Amino acid sequence: MRKVLFVDDQREILDIIDIKLRDESYEKFYATSASEALDILRNKDIDVVVSDIMMPDMNGLDLLSKAREIKPETIRIVLSGNSQVDAIISAINEGNIYKYIMKPWKIDNEAKLIIREAISEADKVKGR
């Protein structure tokens, strides 16, 4: 089963994601901090990481950069508002992230499709 890790320092956001994506056929992991997310990445074969950018212990771009070091084949998606567009574009160009989803994030069919596409990309990268 494919595995997707969602990272957001707001537990309520993760709870909403869990409810909205309940019917999706991949295993979901949740972390409320970058350090918790990195522990999960080290111990699980995560296919996709979806991370908020604004977190207190480490911003999402730094987290996704570290995720790339730990598991280069893991596909990385960032969630953010408008405030750090230049940094996000730079991260996309450097290959640190696969997609950028604007906040507020409507967890709808489009979001589900983005995650499914990222899982397909992970399958290609991993030769599955």
| 3-125 topology per CATH | Rossmann fold (3.40.50)
E strands in the chain: 3-7, 27-31, 48-52, 75-80, 99-102
Adjacent-strand bridge partners of 6: 30, 50
Least confident of 14-28, 47-61, 70-84: 70-84
Q: Judge contact between 27 and 2, C-beta under 8 A.
A: yes
Give all strands of the β-sheet with 48-52 in edge-to-edge order.
27-31, 3-7, 48-52, 75-80, 99-102
What are the sequence ranges of the domains in the chain?
3-125
Model confidence at 107, pLDDT cuts 50, 70, 90, reads confident
Q: Which residue has the higher pLDDT, 39 or 87?
A: 39
Residue-wise pLDDT for 44-56, tens only, equals 999 999 998 888 8
Adjacent-strand bridge partners of 50: 6, 77
